[in-house]
Amino acid sequence: MRCANGIEARQVDELFINIDPIQAGGRLTGDAMKAVMAYGDGYSVCDNCRKPNRLDYISKPPIAEFHKDVADWLSMDSVRTVPGARRGFQAVAHTYVQKGDPVLLTSLSHYTEFLAVEEAGGIPREIPADASSMVTADATAQKIEEVKREFGRPPVLAFIDHVDYQFGNMHDVAAIAKVTRQYDVPILYNGAYTVGILPVNGKELGVDFIVGSGHKSMAAPAPSGILAASAERAAEVFRTTSIVGDITNRKFGIKEPEMMGCTLMGATLIGMMASFPHVKERVKHFDKELDNNRIILESLLSIEGTKILSEYPRKHTMTRIDTIASFDKIAETHKKRGFYLSSALAEKGVTGVIPGATKVWKFNTYGMTRAQAEYLGNTFVEIARENGLAVTG
Amino acid sequence: MSKRAVDMTFQAIYTLTDLRVLFRETAPTHVLDVKQKAEAERLLLNLERQVASLKQEMLK
């Protein structure tokens, strides 16, 4: 079935349980789907844009209120919407990083954080994760000392992922932020996998910035996200324009250079806004998500040879798994080779595992019903049994 | 044509969207429990009413 010329109607989430690690938290709510249909036209949210002509001042639809609500929800002072978390990293890096400045990242940081540093001319220095793939406050202090010895000054900015994209491990940002504060290093909390998934409180964490991803974790269309700042930092990153045209003497009001003026002006913003009440509610029930995740992991662990590479018990639903000694053994002789696993899963109505992956792979169980979690757990076990793998219990 | 016809079109789309959500919640088997069946029935009835009103508005 096509929705337009050459474009298949996407029915992935209607027909399958989708465990794609980056898609689970961005699935739209019904309200977001409805709002997107009504506001799909280009500058649709700008119908009632009045002076001072900036997106976050529009009151109909209630965009201004949304900005305030998100800031309150995260216990931060100011919020802007951005076209994806990466644009939040970019705005902050561009504000604080000059050519040759050292910037603190981690050995598990997302590549877009590196790109933001690169674009600003900074020099990345990674805090190493320990043997259990955790980034600690001690390692942070040690790395800052190393940077001071190397550059004669501390880093100008730190990017710390609360839950990293590689393992889905949860790092102690509050403890890390205590360390960065001791050195006066502004800290950006990367909540791409947490804001909209579980409770996040900027004041409690002690961070200067929070970046969230709408399309990864806030049930919003791509590209969307939020950048939240403390009052002190907001004045810096959300500074207003001062440029003047030399012929026309034009000035540009209260537009913000780091935001390039207005940011999300249509379906992306309205989708994020429509999902927001549901998102606020769902973060309160993250324990249920972990319960569902446990059901699935217990099934997977019952398949002999399967290992969880992420921290365990899990604190997040995105998980890295090692099936070299289980599903990959079948791939060695199966006529479909490594593709047999994604193929068998698809036949049973499960998608989101990279085709061909049977060694080390990731999946995300976020947003399932209990019945779907049980179905998924049973499906893994069934595929294992059908292919002669030993299953305990 | 009237605003009512436009409203009915949107309402019907929204009802169909609620059904879409139901498909998502029950994928891949789409076996509905009692509560979900009642919800589907309610939505389909609404849809019929909305399409009937739309017909009346557009074809009168």
The SS3 of residue A281 is: helix
Query: What pLDDT, in 10s, does the model give residues A335-359?
Result: 999 999 999 999 999 999 999 999 9
Q: What is the pLDDT of residue B1?
A: 61
Q: Which band of pLDDT confidence, cut at 50, 70 and 90, is reported for residue B60?
A: confident
- Residues in B closer than 8 angstroms to A369, CB to CB, are 25-26
- In whole angstroms, what is the distance from residue A74 CA to residue A86 CA? 19
Domain ranges of chain B: 3-55
**Nearest alpha-carbon partner for B29 in A189, A386, A349:** A349
- Residues in B closer than 8 angstroms to A33, CB to CB, are 17, 20-21
Q: What is the pLDDT of residue A393?
A: 77
Q: What is the pLDDT of residue A229?
A: 98
User: Measured between CA atoms, how close is B58 to chain A, in angstroms?
Assistant: 21
Q: What is the pLDDT of residue A333?
A: 95
Q: Measured between CB atoms, does B13 come within 8 Å of chain A?
A: yes
- In whole angstroms, what is the distance from residue A65 CA to residue A113 CA? 29
Task: Give the residue, A315 or B1, on which the prediction is more confident.
Answer: A315
State the complex-level ipTM. 0.97
**End-to-end Cα distance, chain A:** 43
**Nearest alpha-carbon partner for A161 in A191, A131, A196, A186:** A191
Size (chain A), residues: 393
Give the other-Cβ count within 10 Å of B55's Cβ.
12
Query: What pLDDT, in 10s, does the model give residues A281-323?
Result: 999 999 999 999 999 999 999 999 999 999 999 999 999 999 9
Query: What pLDDT, in 10s, does the model give residues A206-220?
Result: 999 999 999 999 999
Domains and CATH numbers, chain A: 2-24+286-386 (3.90.1150.10), 29-282 (3.40.640.10)
Beta bridge partners of A17: A350
Q: What is the pLDDT of residue A39?
A: 98
Q: Measured between CB atoms, does B38 come within 8 Å of chain A?
A: no
Q: Measured between CB atoms, does B35 come within 8 Å of chain A?
A: no
Contact B24 A27 (CB under 8 A): yes
Nearest to A30 among B10, B21, B28 (CB): B21
Query: Is A271 within 8 Å of A212 (Cβ atoms)?
Result: no
Q: What is the pTM of this model?
A: 0.97
Q: What is the pLDDT of residue B45?
A: 98
Which residues of chain A, if any, have pLDDT below 50? none
**Nearest alpha-carbon partner for A211 in A240, A237, A232:** A237
In a mutagenesis test of the A interface, which of B21, B29, B31 is the best target, namely the one with the most A β-carbons within 10 Å? B21
- In whole angstroms, what is the distance from residue A35 CA to residue A13 CA? 19
Phi, psi of B47 (to 5 degrees): -60, -45
Q: Measured between CB atoms, does B6 come within 8 Å of chain A?
A: no
Q: CA A329 → CA A147, A283, A326, B42, distances in Å?
A: 45, 38, 6, 49
